[in-house]
């Protein structure tokens, strides 16, 4: 992967409020770009959205004369709302997610008692990626990999020498993502991670989140396959599948639900769109009581 033609330019945007990293990835030859895992700012106490995080991405794209062709979600996030519709309105591009989003829509459509107007077929997105599907950002080829475990719909996107792994693993000193959401599976997660770790050692890996591991004072989100194989505290070489499943299951049992899971999932299964306004012109986010 030493060919410069296969090396996209990657710019990260870290949202400390949700510990989320969004990316703008572009081909330096053609200036075509993808935006991965954008964040819509949301104040839960007031129920108010804003666009500072998304506007920073727009400023970067416009100042570098980039042409956005893809707006990619690695999965339906449970910790932040997607800004993809806002960015699409401003910058264009096709909104895409993994094809298994329909499974997540079915589960959460029932939880939120979404009516028949809520389609559970992925039609809120412009494109649904299947495992192994290829796409292009300018002259650089990308490949979509289905990496279930955190949720049944998680995808990773390999673009040139860079891999955007979503919520599969974190930085080596922090480990891996939880697997206790509906449809999650620790055994699947282990296998998905190892599929990614079969990429060449020097593949750049870009995380979707960072929480600063104990003893580390700064946030970080870029590492390599080699560093993960040698040092990931949960899945380094030598850790067996059974050992991982036992660790992940015990650890997940201690974790609270993400603060924004109810608004986030409700919006993100709709492709980042808020629920349709009611007769007073206001959109409402439902919070099921004693249902989870």
CATH of the domain at 154: 3.60.15.10
Angle in degrees, 0-180, between the axes of helices 52-63 and 84-91, rounded to the nearest 10: 30
SS3 137: strand
Is 183 part of any domain?
Answer: yes
Is 91 part of any domain?
Answer: yes
> Which tokens go with 46?
């007031």
pLDDT tens-digit profile of 84-129?
Answer: 999 999 999 999 999 999 999 999 999 998 877 789 999 999 999 9
Is 92 part of any domain?
Answer: yes
Long-range own/partner contacts, residues 67-70 (CB < 8 A, 24 or more apart): 67/30, 67/31, 67/32, 67/33, 67/92, 68/33, 68/34, 68/35, 68/92, 68/93, 69/32, 69/33, 69/34, 69/93, 69/94, 69/137, 70/33, 70/34, 70/35, 70/94, 70/96, 70/135, 70/137
Range of the domain at 229: 8-265
Q: Which of 99, 105, 101 is nearest to 118 (CA)?
A: 105
Is 144 part of any domain?
Answer: yes
pLDDT tens-digit profile of 195-234?
Answer: 999 999 999 999 999 999 999 999 999 999 999 999 999 9
Residues 104, 151: contact at Cβ < 8 Å? yes
Mean pLDDT calculated for residue range 25-35: 98
How many folded domains does the chain comprise? 1
> Which tokens go with 21?
């990293």
- pTM of this structure: 0.96
């Amino acid at each position: 992967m030493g060919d410069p033609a296969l090396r996209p330019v990657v710019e990260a945007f870290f949202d400390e409020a949700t510990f989320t990293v969004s990316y703008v990835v572009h081909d330096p030859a053609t200036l075509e770009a993808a935006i991965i895992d954008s964040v819509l700012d949301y104040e839960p106490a007031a129920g108010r959205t804003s666009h500072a995080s998304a506007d920073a991405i727009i400023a970067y794209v416009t100042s570098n004369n980039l042409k956005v062709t893809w707006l990619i979600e690695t999965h339906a996030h449970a910790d932040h709302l997607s800004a993809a519709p806002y960015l699409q309105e401003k910058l264009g591009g096709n909104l895409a997610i993994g094809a298994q989003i329909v499974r997540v829509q079915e589960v959460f459509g029932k939880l939120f008692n979404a009516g028949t107007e809520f389609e559970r077929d992925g039609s809120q997105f412009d494109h649904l990626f299947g495992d192994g599907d290829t796409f292009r950002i300018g002259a650089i080829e990308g490949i979509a990999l289905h990496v279930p475990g955190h949720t049944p719909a998680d995808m990773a996107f390999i673009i040139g020498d860079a891999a955007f792994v979503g919520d599969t693993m974190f930085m080596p000193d922090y480990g891996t993502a939880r697997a206790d959401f509906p449809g999650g599976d620790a055994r699947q997660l282990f296998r998905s991670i190892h599929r990614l770790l079969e990429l060449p050692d020097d593949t750049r890996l870009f995380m979707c989140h960072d929480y600063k591991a104990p003893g580390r004072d700064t946030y970080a989100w870029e590492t390599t396959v080699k560093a993960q194989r040698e040092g990931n505290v949960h899945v380094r070489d030598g850790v067996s599948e059974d050992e991982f499943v036992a660790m992940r299951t015990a650890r997940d049992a201690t974790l609270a639900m993400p603060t924004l899971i109810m608004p986030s999932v409700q919006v993100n299964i709709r492709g980042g769109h808020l629920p349709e306004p009611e007769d007073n012109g206001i959109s409402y986010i439902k919070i099921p009581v004693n249902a989870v």
